[in-house]
Structure 1
Amino acid sequence: MPLDHAADPSTEAEPFLDALADLCDHYDATAESSYVTLPDPASKVHYLTAGEGPPLLLLHGLGSTAHVWVPLFDALTDRFTVYAPDRPGRGLSTAVDYHETGFREFGVEYVADFLDALGIEETAVMGNSLGGFQSLALAVDRPERVRRLCIVGAPAGLSRSIPHLFRLFDLPVVGDLLFDLFAVETVADARRQYRRINVEDDSALPDAYFEPGVVAEGLPGQRESLRSLMETLGSFRGMAPEFDLRGDLDSVEVPARFVWGTDDYFWEPEVGRPAVERMGDAELVELRDHGHMPWLEPGDDAERAAVEFLTE
C-alpha cells in the first residue's frame, strides 16, 4: 500500500487521502498519513512520514500542502525518516485564523510542539517559500532543534519587497476579488498557476501531483485560513516588518544551503546573497532556469543539490 493512513471519521478527508494515495503510487513512494494533537490553536496537525534514518522535517509554502514533497521521497527516504506536516489551515490540519495567532511566533511554536509530540529533539530541516521562512525562524529562535538547514526556493524573510501581484491582495474589495479569481478548481487551473508562480516547466509533473491541491481547496476552513494568513503577511507597501529576518541571521551557525533558481518568481538569488554571507556556515547554490519550487522542474539538479548537502 503506497499510503497507509490512520482512520479519519470525516467524510471530507476521504477524497484528499485518495488523491495522496494516487500521488504516492505514481512516485512509488510508501508513506504513512498520521495526526498529532498539539496545544491550541494548532490542535490537530496532519502529516506524512516515510523512510528510515535520522529525522528530516519538511515545511511547505504558503498555498500548498505536505504533498508537494512526495516527488522527493524516493531520494530522501533511504537516508532519513521524513516528517512533512500540513501547516495549520492547510490540508487536513485544523484551520487557524491567523488574524488571531499571527505567524512569526506561531510558525515556530507549532513546529516545536510538533517535534516534541514526536519525541524529536534535533532534526535536519528543509523548507520552501513560507516554509523556508519557518525554517530560518526556527534556526533563529530554537537553534537547539536544528541540525542542518536546507532552503529550496526563495524563502520569505530576506526582503520586504514582494511582487506587485501579491501587493494587490491587500487592497479592499480588489484583494478579495483577486483571491477568488485565483481559486483552483481543476488540474488545468493548478497547472496554469504553477507555471505563473512556481515552476518554469511543468512537463515533469503528472496530473496526480496537482490533485491533492485541487481537492484541498474544498476542505473546511482552507480558503478562510489562507486569506487570513495572506492579510497578516504584508500590505500594499510590502511584507510586514515582523517577517524580516535579516537582522537575526548572524546567530544562525548550523550548516545551511540555499538552493535557489535564477527564475524564482519572488526573489532572484542575489537577494539572498547578503543573508548567506551573514550566516556562520551557509552557501548559495544557483540553478539556472529553475523557478520557485526548483525540485519540481525537469531534471534532478535541485534534488541532487539538496540531498548531497543534507547527507554530508
Structure 2
Amino acid sequence: MVFDRIPPDWPYRDRARRIASPPHDWCVVDAGEGPPLLLLHGAGGSGHSFRKLIPLLTPHYRVIVPDLPGQGFTRSGARGRYGIDPMAEDIVALCRKLDLSPLAVIGHSAGAALALRLSDFLPLKGVIGINAALGAFEGAAGVLFPLLARVLAVTPFIPHVVARLWGHAATVNRLLDSTGSRLDPEGQAQYLTLVRDAAHVDGTLGMMAQWRVDELMAQPRPVATPTLLIASTGDMAVPARVSRDAARHLKVATYAELPDFGHLVHEEAPEAVAELILPWLDALPRG
C-alpha cells in the first residue's frame, strides 16, 4: 500500500510500502535482490535522496530505504523519540518487523551517525557514511543552533509558518546551494515538496532539537564494525575534515575523499559514490 500523500512522480513510489511498526507508521522503499542494505537519509531529507544511488546498488543488493520518523512520508507516532538512541531503537524494531538482518547500513549526513549507533544494536558487517555529520557545531553555533531548534520544535504553528515562508523554489534552491551541491531541476523540485510539508518540517525540527552527536562520538565502541567514511571536498555543510578526523577515532575505518562535490554528493555524483561503495561491500564477510 502506498501513502496517498506521496506525489505520483515521487522516486520509487511503486516500491514504497506502508509498515506499521509502533510507534511510527513507516514509509519504506524495498527494491532489488541479494544481501540486504539499509539506507538512511539525513535530517531534512527523505529516502528519495538515494534515488540515483539505488539503481547502482540493486543489481547486487536488496535495498531497504525508510523515511525517518516524522520526515518524508513516515508518520510519527511519538515526537519525543527523535533523538539518536530512540530513533535507533525504533529502526531496530522496524528491522524485526521486516525480518531483516542488514549486511550493512549506508547513511548520509545525520543518517551516518544513526548508522554508527545501529552498529551497537545490530550484527552489522559494515557501516558506510556519506558526508557523515559526526561533529558538533563549532563556536557560538554550537550553543545557539541546538537551543533555537529546541525552541522552534515546541512552538505551536512554527512548522506551518516555516513551510509557508520557505516553501518557494528560490528559497529552497538557495538552501541547496548553501550545501555546496548543484542539483538538477527534478531534485530541486523534490526538496521543495518536502519543505512545503508542515509535518516534514515538524519532524526535521524535532530531530535537530533532540540530536546529540557529541555524546555518540564520546562513547567507547567495543564492537569494531568496519566503517567506510566518504567525504567530498566541496561540502559546505559538513566539512570533509569531520569524516577525516572521525576515521582516526574509529577502530576499523577507511576514509575516502571525492573532490569538488557538495554535501549531497550521492545525488550529484552517484556513480563516483558507487565506485567506492561496491568494492568495499564486496570485501565484507558474509554469513
TM exceeds 0.5?
yes
CA–CA distance in 2 between the matches of 1:154 and 1:273?
Answer: 10
Q: Runs of 5+ in structure 1 lacking a partner?
A: 1-5, 25-29, 234-239
Bigger Cα displacement from structure 2, 183-192 vs 283-292: 183-192
CA shift at 1:256, angstroms? 1.2
Alignment deviations for residues 51-102 of structure 1 (CA, whole Å, 9 cap, x no partner)? 111101000000001100011112101011111101110122113554x224
CA–CA distance in 1 between the matches of 2:37 and 2:53?
Answer: 12
1:272-283 equivalences under 5 Å are 272-283=243-254
1:114-153 equivalences under 5 Å are 114-139=94-119, 141-144=120-123, 146-153=124-131
Indicate whether 1:55 and 2:36 are aligned. Answer: yes
Residue type matched to 1:142 in 2? F
CA shift at 1:207, angstroms? 2.3
Cross-structure match for 2:138:
161
Q: Does the 8 A contact of 1:19 with 1:212 survive in 2?
A: no
Q: Does the 8 A contact of 1:264 with 1:290 survive in 2?
A: yes
CA shift at 1:46, angstroms? 0.4
Determine helix, strand or coil for the equivalent of 1:78. coil
Indicate whether 1:105 and 2:85 are aligned. Answer: yes
CA shift at 1:259, angstroms? 0.4
| Matching residue within 254, 259, 265 for 2:230 | 259
Over 3 Å counting, the alpha-carbon distance change for 1:181 and 1:260 in structure 2 is same
Cross-structure match for 2:200:
222
Alignment deviations for residues 270-293 of structure 1 (CA, whole Å, 9 cap, x no partner)? 333343223232111112212212
CA shift at 1:118, angstroms? 0.9
CA–CA distance in 2 between the matches of 1:194 and 1:63?
Answer: 11
Indicate whether 1:208 and 2:186 are aligned. Answer: yes
CA shift at 1:153, angstroms? 0.8
- Output the TM-score relative to the length of structure 2: 0.83
Indicate whether 1:32 and 2:15 are aligned. Answer: yes
Over 3 Å counting, the alpha-carbon distance change for 1:278 and 1:229 in structure 2 is closer
Cross-structure match for 1:91:
72
CA–CA distance in 1 between the matches of 2:150 and 2:64?
Answer: 38
CA shift at 1:136, angstroms? 0.7
What count of residue pairs does the alignment treat as equivalent? Answer: 278
CA–CA distance in 1 between the matches of 2:264 and 2:139?
Answer: 17
Cross-structure match for 1:310:
281
Cross-structure match for 2:172:
190
CA–CA distance in 1 between the matches of 2:164 and 2:255?
Answer: 32
User: Alignment identity in percent?
Assistant: 21
Bigger Cα displacement from structure 2, 267-276 vs 130-139: 267-276
CA–CA distance in 2 between the matches of 1:120 and 1:87?
Answer: 17
Please give the root-mean-square deviation of Cα atoms over the aligned residues, in Å: 3.1
Indicate whether 1:244 and 2:225 are aligned. Answer: no
- Output the TM-score relative to the length of structure 1: 0.77
Determine helix, strand or coil for the equivalent of 2:221. helix
CA–CA distance in 1 between the matches of 2:21 and 2:150?
Answer: 35
Q: Runs of 5+ in structure 2 lacking a partner?
A: none
Over 3 Å counting, the alpha-carbon distance change for 1:182 and 1:132 in structure 2 is farther
Q: Does the 8 A contact of 1:251 with 1:279 survive in 2?
A: no
